[in-house]
Amino acid sequence: MTAAGPRTRSERKHAAIVAAATSVFLDRGYHGASMDEVARVAAVSKQTVYKHFASKKTLFEQVMRATSEPMHAALRAAVDGVAGSGDVEADLRAYGQALLREVLTPPVVRLRHIIVAEADRFPDLAASWHRQGPGRTVDDLTDRFAALTAAGRLSCPQPRVAAEHFLWLLIAEPLVKSMFVPPPARPVRVEARVDAALRVFLAGYGG
């Protein structure tokens, strides 16, 4: 597929199948979803679904990527902006707000529920989610905090520990709540939560 979107008939069908599967998986969970329903929602034959995706697991892996990659791309862009303006606190605030909004979007929360529910059966899927999600986020923040410490703008003797502290100060409580409290939960006050996390983080790691 091109950056401009699917163009060939095969690419259009592929995109339609992924879109349909996303809707079906998020609505019914992995166990409740069927390739028959995906085919019906995509308005293609079941044979066509299997032509593009060899198994239900393979299709779910694509749905996981399609749902999570925009979030991960947004977070990578946000972490790249940390200290880009020259104001560490302002950039960390912007990053924190982007992080909270991305990880708490309803499709991402629902996908996380499904992955956790299927982790015993498909441990590789759960590991992949962690690697490209929280694992990648901590890696990116670790690199950024190490650079800021070298420049004397933060004081993080163990940049990875600092990255973990910052991440969980931001998202621990709302993330855990999203796993157990069904919607509609009271919306997270993003700005207030980020400001509180920043006060604690900078008290410990400010340059």
Q: Please write the tens of the pLDDT for every residue from 52-74.
A: 999 999 999 899 888 878 877 87
For the record, the structure tokens of 51 come out as: 């032509």
User: For position 184, what pLDDT does the model report?
Assistant: 57
Question: Which tokens sit at 13?
Answer: 């069908």
For 99-121, what is the mean pLDDT? 88
Q: What is the DSSP letter of 53?
A: -
Q: Global pTM?
A: 0.79
Per-residue pLDDT, 186: 60
Cα(134)–Cα(123) distance, rounded to whole angstroms? 16
Q: What is the total residue count of the chain?
A: 207
CA distance to 52, 127, 183, per residue, from 72 (Å): 25, 15, 23
CATH number of 1-54: 1.10.10.60
Distance from first CA to last CA of the chain, Å, rounded?
Answer: 46
Would you list the domain boundaries of the chain? 1-54, 67-205
Lowest model confidence (mean pLDDT) among 114-123, 167-176, 179-188: 179-188
Look at residue 1 in the predicted model and tell me its pLDDT. 46
CB 145 within 8 A of CB 82: no
Q: Which CATH architecture has domain 67-205?
A: Orthogonal Bundle (1.10)
Q: Is the pLDDT of residue 200 over 90?
A: yes
* Token pair for 71: 């979030």
pLDDT > 90? residue 36: yes
CA-wise closest residue to 62 among 49, 78, 45: 49
